[in-house]
Amino acid sequence: MNHWLTAPILIPLIGGILQAFMGYAPIALRRTLAIATTVLMLVAAIVLLVLADDGSYRLYAFGNWQPPFGIVLVLDRLAALMLVMTAVLALFCHIYAIGGTDESSRQFHGLFLFQLLGLNIAFLTGDLFNLFVAFEVLLIASYGLLMHGEGTSRTVPGLHYVVLNLAGSAVFLIAVGMIYSVTGTLNMADLAVKIPQVAEENLPLVKAGGMMLLVVFGLKAAILPLCFWLPGAYSNATAPVAALFAVMTKVGIYAIIRVFTLIFGSQAGELAGLGMDWLFPLALITLTMGVIGALGAASLRKLVAWQVIISVGTLLAAISFGTVAGTSAALFYLLNTTWVVGGLFLVADLVDGQRGSAQDKIVTAPRIANRTFLSVLFLMGAVAAVGLPPLSGFFAKLLILKSAVTESDVAWLWSVLLIGSFFTLIAYSRAGSIVFWRNVEGHIEEPQKLTPSLSVSASALISLSIVMVILAGPISRYAEDTAAQLHDTSAYTDILSKPMVGEEK
């Protein structure tokens, strides 16, 4: 049993606890410790990525209890990928936050680290109920983070976000109860074994439970018609929080990938491919809604928030194919969109800081300071988000387009995705040209200073879209291996027979 598996959990947990104690310590100390925690977490994630790349499943049984009885962490390529993706995003968001956003509440760093804790648990856990707990950890921290900052604008969207997620948690529990009541187990590997054996009379319960899980994950992922909480919540959050939230919808997507390939995947007998026939059209409608929202967005933040929904639709469309190609394309796209959208939220905030009362609204305003720098960042972000060459978004989109196989899938996906890209392009070019180019006389009283922590973190996230092009080969190889590993569920269920500490000979 490799203790490294607990690192992504223990590091933010310890960091978060320290922050809880240090509420009144000098801010420099709190920042240093907090950033150190995030950096350590990134290191741990990279170690796990290297470990996971041998294609095996690593098991960590808490309390040394054999699965399915105890809670286990399972490290595979997918988990490692999600961990690294999150850690990278988190580091830059965190660096951005110490540029000043963290000052308005003493709890910021604690909440931030706890948020990461929840995310990491979610990616690693091999237990359905523990996934619920992980969701709750990351949600409660996200509630706190969402409310972070001065002003009153975020309260109502925050309230909506919280209430909907509470309802979602209730549905999650109902689903867990239904599935447990038939299978008598919570371990995902064990579920994968038990689900195909479910008796005929019990199928409706499991089916309904599985579908409810899909709704819950869909709510987190912000799939239509469950996506409307997102634009308000994200666009009103402070920038590093909104940027970090780029990963929040991905948790829902992760859960869909994990649960619906492992438990309701191709080997699930009667229940194989549960819900996937619903997912594809919904994904395309979500994508369309995202594009419409982006076209109608009145501020850069709203635009980026709708971009989140566009990417959710795109991702889920590919995932719904249930194929290795679809999943691997989705994973590549996932990395791209998470980082780029995170970066775009930061850029929107930087722009906001330069424009006085015009904020980030897509309206005419006096010429901004640092225009070249910011407009280049915005341009790159937009190009990567829309999926134009030469940045990574294009390759991601290409992979997704190519993952469609049947004629009707091709027709629907291609037309929606490409026409969607076209209108997204119009939305971005309109927004960028108005915000950066269409100026009126006057000048901004006190533009925000672009301190290194602000500009470095924003540009770093955006620049990842270049790094991803350079590393496109290895990354797509990794994504493909990950998808292949995912779809070979029998290897996952082997963790049930791995020996515990003290048993191995």
Partner 1 sequence: MELAFAVVIGALTASGVYLMLRARTFPVVLGLTMLSYGVNLFLFSSGRLVTGGQPIIGSAETYSDPLPQALVLTAIVIGFAMTAFVVVLSLRSLADNDNDDHVNGRVPEQDRIPQEQEGANT
Partner 2 sequence: MSLPLVVLLPFLGALAAPLFAQGGRTAIAVISCVPAIIGLAALYPHWAVLADGGIVQHTTEWLPALGLSLSFRLDGLSLLFTLLILIIGLLIILYARYYLKPHENVGKFYALLLCFKGSMLGIVLSSNLLLMVIFWELTSLTSFLLISFWTHKKDARRGARMSLAITGGGGLALLAGILLIGNIVGSYELEDVLAAGDLIKNHSMYPVALTLVLLGAFTKSAQFPFHFWLPHAMQAPTPVSAYLHSATMVKAGIFLMARLYPALAGTEQWFYMVSFTGMATLLIGAYVAMFKHDLKGLLAHSTVSHLGLITLLFGMGTQLAAVAAVFHVINHAIFKASLFMAAGIIDHETGTRDMRRINGLWRYMPHTATLAMVAASSMAGVPLLNGFLSKEMFFAEALELNLPGLWAYLPPLVATLAGIFAVAYSARFIHDVFFNGRPVNLPIFPPHEPPRYMKIPVEILVFACLMVGMFPAFSVGPLLYAAASATLGGDVPEYHLTVIHGFNLPLLMSFVAFFGGLLMYTQRQRFFDFHARFKEIDEKAVFEAIVSRISDTAHTVTAYIENGSLQRYAMLLIVSVIAVSVLPLWDLGIAIGSNGLSPVDWPTLIGIAILVVASLGTAAMHRDRFFALVLLSVVGLLVALGFARFSAPDLAMTQLSVEVVTIVLLMLALYYMPSWTPIETPKGRRIRDILIAGAAGIGMTLITLAMLTQPFTSISEFFLENSKPGGGGTNVVNVILVDFRGFDTLGEITVLGIAALGIYAMLRNVDLPPPPGDGQGHAWTRDAYPMMLQQIARPMLPLALMISAYIFLRGHNMPGGGFIAGLITAVALILQYIASGMSWTQGRISIRYHNVIGLGLLFALIAGAGSFAFGYPFLTSTFDYVYWPVVGKFEVASALVFDLGVYLTVIGATLLALTSVGRLSPHSAINSTNYKEGS
- 163 makes contact with partner 1 (CB under 8 A): yes
Q: Which of residues 176-205 bind partner 1 (CB under 8 A)?
A: 176-178, 180-181, 186
Interface positions, 117-136, toward partner 2 (CB under 8 A): 117, 121, 129-130, 133-134, 136
Under 8 Å between Cβ of 108 and 91: no
- By CB under 8 A, the residues from 16 to 45 that bind partner 1 are none
Burial state string for 78-91 with b = 16 or more CB within 10 A and e = fewer than 16 = bbbbbbbbbbbbbb
Residue 75 parent element (H or E): strand 72-75
> CB–CB of 388/379 below 8 Å?
no
Q: Which residues, including other chains, have CB under 8 Å from residue 408's CB and lie 6 or more apart?
A: none
- Cα–Cα distance measured from residue 310 to residue 365, given in angstroms and rounded to the nearest whole number: 28
With contact defined as beta carbons under 8 Å apart, do 276 and 406 qualify?
A: no
Q: Is 433 in the site for partner 2 (CB under 8 A)?
A: yes
Instruction: Select from 27, 39, 203, 496 the one that contacts partner 2 (CB under 8 A).
Output: 203
| Residue 164-193 contact track with partner 2, rule CB under 8 A, x = bound | x--xx--x--x--xx-xxx-xxxx--x---
Rounded to whole angstroms, the Cα distance separating 119 from 455 reads 26
Near partner 1 in 439-468, by CB under 8 A: none
Would you say 180 and 186 are in contact if contact means Cβ atoms under 8 Å apart? yes
Residues of this chain, 25-84, that bind partner 2 according to CB under 8 A: 60-65, 68-71
H-state helical runs in 98-238: 108-124, 128-146, 155-183, 188-194, 203-221, 229-236
Does residue 145 contact residue 168 with C-beta atoms inside 8 Å?
no
Contact 311, 333 (CB under 8 A): yes
> At its nearest, how many Å lie between partner 2 and the CB of residue 106?
7
Look at residue 229 and give the partner it binds from partner 2, partner 1, none, a contact being a CB closer than 5 to 8 Å depending on partner kind.
partner 2
- In the shown chain, the binding pattern of residues 205 to 224 toward partner 2, with x for contact by CB under 8 A and - for none, equals x-xx--xx-xx--xx-----
CB of 445 to partner 1, least distance (A): 26
Which option in partner 1, partner 2, none does residue 23 bind, with CB closer than 5 to 8 A by kind? partner 2
Q: Which of 129, 278, 373, 423 binds partner 1 (CB under 8 A)?
A: 129
Of 1, 33, 39, 140, the residue at the interface with partner 1 (CB under 8 A) is: 140
Among positions 39, 51, 159, 410, the unique one binding partner 1 when judged by CB under 8 A: 159
Nearest-approach distance from CB 286 to partner 1, in angstroms: 23
Query: How many CB atoms neighbour CB 505 within 10 A?
Result: 3
d(CA 199, CA 329): 35
CB of 269 to partner 1, least distance (A): 22
Q: Which runs of consecutive H residues, i.e. helices, occur in 355-451?
A: 371-386, 392-403, 407-432
In whole angstroms, give the CA distance from residue 364 to residue 373. Answer: 19
State yes or no: residue 476 binds partner 2 (CB under 8 A): yes
Span of 10-18, 150-158, 255-263, 388-396 interacting with partner 1 by CB under 8 A: 150-158
C-beta closer to partner 1: residue 232 or 322: 232
User: Radius of gyration of the chain from Cα atoms?
Assistant: 22
Number of residues that bind partner 2 (CB under 8 A): 127
Verify binding: residue 107, partner 2, rule CB under 8 A: yes
Residue 162, binding choice from partner 1, partner 2, none, Cβ under 5 to 8 Å by partner class: partner 1
- Give the residue, chosen from 22, 66, 160, 388, that forms a contact with partner 1 under the rule CB under 8 A: 160
Quick one: angle between helices 128-146 and 155-183, nearest 10?
180
Residues of the shown chain interacting with partner 1 in the complex, contacts defined by CB under 8 A: 129, 133, 136, 139-140, 143-144, 147, 152, 155-156, 158-160, 162-163, 166-167, 169-170, 173-174, 176-178, 180-181, 186
